[in-house]
Amino acid sequence: MKNILIVEDDLSIAELEKDYLELSGFQVKICTDGVNGLNEIKENKYDLIILDVMLPKIDGFDILRIVSEHKDIPILLVSAKKEEIDKIKGLSLGADDYITKPFSPGELVARVKSHIQNYERLKNKFNAKVENDSIIIRGLEIKKASRQVFVNGREVVLAQKEYDLLLYLAENPNRVFGREELFERIWGLDAIGDNATITVHIRKIREKIETNPSEPQYIETLWGVGYRFRV
């Protein structure tokens, strides 16, 4: 049984989400403020976190920033904020999805299932290739078994989807991928309207692995087409 943590200060919304998730076979716990939510994430193992942005004590963005640097776990941000800048901020901090209120509980359950299944599929795929543990290209090393990335011997920390996206591109070098194709491959969801997700994640990866992100040597942009990992 998969364990889900809901961090949501509106108890009526949290309990509705909990009911639908439990009917779908998940085990669910609720925290109603940011401090308790962050402590729960640090102290216990969950398969996915549903995290509201507007929380008392510590907001969802701050929790996301802390968690994505130390834990490899799918995180779905939930917010009444519909502005694109908020979505971009959440994705750039390492969120795997951004859902705006109001939304149907059925949609939430579908997204939760999709993210968990996709995460496990990618994790199993990577674990099955332990015998080819590392990809090494011009100072960049990706250790697949431990999901670690090193640049010139220095470890850099990538959020879950940042790592998945980098590895997928590196395992398919010199091939051009459109944004929608990358979204479908890594997120496993309908890519319509989510091109900003790929743009934000590519930018964050470049900031972490490139000497000069404005002149990338690894992930190239082909304007109007997509991205390519150059070897």
Quote the pLDDT of residue 193: 47
**Would the pLDDT of 131 be above 90?**
no
- Region 36-45 average pLDDT: 93
- Express as a percent the part of the chain with pLDDT over 90: 52
Looking at residue 178, what DSSP letter applies? Answer: -
**Would the pLDDT of 128 be above 70?**
no
- Alpha-helix residue ranges (DSSP H) falling in 45-194: 60-68, 84-92, 105-127, 160-170, 179-187
Mean pLDDT (the chain, rounded)? 87
Omega within 30 of 0 (cis) for the link into 105: no
- Measured over the CA atoms of residue 155, residue 161, residue 166 and residue 168, the dihedral's sign is positive
Question: Could you confirm whether domain 130-229 is CATH 1.10.10.10?
Answer: yes
Compare 122 and 17 and report the one with higher pLDDT: 17
Q: Which CATH class is domain 3-124?
A: alpha beta
The residues, ordered by sequence, that sit 6+ positions from 24 with a Cβ below 8 Å of its Cβ are 109, 112, 113
The residues, ordered by sequence, that sit 6+ positions from 177 with a Cβ below 8 Å of its Cβ are 169, 185, 226, 227, 228
**Would the pLDDT of 124 be above 80?**
no
CA distance 59 to 162: 22
- Return residue ranges of the chain for CATH 3.40.50.2300: 3-124
- How sure is the predictor about 194, in pLDDT bands with cuts at 50, 70 and 90? low
- Return residue ranges of the chain for CATH 1.10.10.10: 130-229
60 CB burial (10 A radius; 0-12, 13-18, 19+): buried
In 3D, which of 184, 213, 209 has the Cα closest to residue 198? 184
- Say whether 24 sits in a helix, a strand or coil: coil
pTM for this predicted structure: 0.62
